[in-house]
């Protein structure tokens, strides 16, 4: 279902952007697969394989003999060709028959998700095209791949939503597990155990999913849980997501460990948390089709700095799909490391995180990460937003 849906979608994208032909060229995909492959084929491929889609609606797969049946069984490609000795003959004949003016291939300077063609495979394809004087027709497929990944279908959105609900359930259970004296590693192990019991997968590397940080002076992000124990009077935050049928959630939640005699969080902790919640809501309301992500990032950044906190040292939000970090468009600042991503116009059916953070002196980091779906009328929450600081007794 998904592959048929996305292959059909790619034809419309080619028509829209005016590119004649798109080739995904791969080999030994279990070792070095292109990130776009799950949209084109199921399972791994061994020998050189080419998936050719045209703006006229032709869908041609050229694969090794032993991969032919599995590709045919998809009932997606109008023609499935195979070979024994080498792919070149079939590939040349197909391209001469199509005679495309432009041939898009999967390379990109700015987007890792669109850069699936290895340099060696690029050279191999270039040499084949040179034999029929088509080497100068090569262009980047970044716009095709980005659009295919970011324009979520109803089925993709349903899977992401299921992944969100599952993660939220585990977060609620974790809130009952967190106690003073338990360690970051204890909390992470509890959550990972629940993932396994529910028959789910973690959304990213198990070493850092979940990431758990308690108190001040932690690594802050992208670090494995430690033996540091939960203490009263500290903030604890968790970054966590699960995967459902190949689609991810990515959420963060913040907790406060009540000190002895406290019935509510101290003013400075509550103020930090409330600032985060306000920056998320105002950012969400600012999202609309056609606006650049850099403008949305600026909304949250201004709220946080005007409240007297330092700028968060990362982008406000990224897309989510088959990976926790997916797609090209980014809600981020105009920093070198983000290249052109913050300037890609936002489109309907994109799924983004919104995840600002700020430090609370001597307490820890306040951070919440929500997920939103962009619609023609604006953005709506897919996650159930954390608007109340979770208190741990």
Pair (206, 101) in one structural domain: no
**pLDDT of 166 strictly over 90:** yes
Pair (112, 83) in one structural domain: yes
Pair (76, 162) in one structural domain: no
pLDDT bin (cut points 50, 70, 90) of residue 221 is confident
Pair (144, 155) in one structural domain: no
Pair (72, 198) in one structural domain: no
What is the domain-level CATH number for residue 252?
3.90.230.10
pLDDT computed for residue 219 by the predictor: 79
Domain interval for residue 32? 2-149
Pair (274, 141) in one structural domain: no
Longest Cα–Cα distance of the chain, Å, equals 80
- pTM attached to this predicted model: 0.95
pLDDT digits (tens, 9 = 90+) for 106-133: 999 999 999 999 999 999 999 999 999 9
Copy the structure tokens of residue 174: 């974790």
Pair (49, 71) in one structural domain: yes
What is the domain-level CATH number for residue 85?
3.40.350.10
State the total domains in the chain. 2
The answer to whether 250 and 243 are in contact (CB under 8 A) is no
């Amino acid at each position: 279902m998904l592959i048929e849906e996305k292959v059909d979608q790619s034809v419309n994208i080619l028509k829209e952007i005016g590119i004649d032909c798109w080739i995904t060229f791969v080999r030994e995909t279990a070792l070095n697969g292109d990130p776009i492959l799950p949209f084109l084929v199921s399972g791994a491929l061994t020998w050189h394989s080419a998936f050719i889609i045209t703006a006229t609606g032709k869908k041609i797969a050229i694969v090794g003999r032993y991969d032919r049946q599995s590709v045919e069984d998809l009932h997606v490609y109008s023609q499935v060709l195979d070979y024994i000795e080498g792919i070149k003959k079939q590939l040349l004949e197909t391209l001469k028959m199509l005679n495309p003016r432009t041939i898009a291939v999967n390379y990109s300077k700015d987007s890792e998700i669109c850069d699936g063609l290895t340099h060696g495979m690029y050279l191999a394809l270039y040499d084949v095209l040179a034999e029929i004087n088509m080497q100068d027709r090569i262009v980047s497929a970044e716009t095709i791949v980005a659009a295919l990944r970011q324009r979520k279908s109803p089925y993709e959105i349903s899977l992401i939503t299921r992944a969100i609900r599952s993660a939220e359930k585990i977060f609620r259970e974790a809130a009952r597990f967190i106690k003073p004296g338990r360690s970051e590693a204890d909390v992470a192990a509890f959550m990972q155990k629940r993932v396994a019991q529910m028959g789910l997968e973690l959304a990213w590397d198990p070493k850092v999913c979940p990431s758990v940080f308690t108190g001040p002076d932690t690594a802050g992000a992208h670090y494995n849980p430690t033996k540091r124990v939960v203490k009263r009077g500290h903030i604890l935050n968790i970054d966590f997501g699960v995967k459902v049928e190949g689609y991810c959630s990515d959420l963060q939640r913040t907790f406060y460990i009540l000190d002895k005699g406290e019935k509510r969080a101290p003013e400075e902790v509550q103020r930090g948390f409330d600032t985060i919640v306000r920056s998320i809501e105002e950012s969400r309301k600012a999202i609309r089709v056609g606006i650049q992500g850099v403008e949305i990032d600026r909304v949250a950044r201004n709220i946080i700095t005007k409240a007297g906190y330092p700028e968060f040292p990362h982008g406000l939000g990224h897309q989510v799909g088959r990976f926790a970090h997916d797609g090209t468009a980014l809600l981020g600042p105009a920093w070198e490391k983000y290249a052109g991503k913050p300037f890609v116009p936002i489109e309907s059916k994109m799924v983004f995180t919104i995840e600002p953070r700020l430090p609370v002196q001597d307490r820890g980091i306040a951070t919440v990460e929500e997920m939103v779906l962009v619609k023609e009328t604006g953005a709506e929450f897919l996650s159930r937003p954390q608007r109340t600081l979770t208190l741990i007794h």
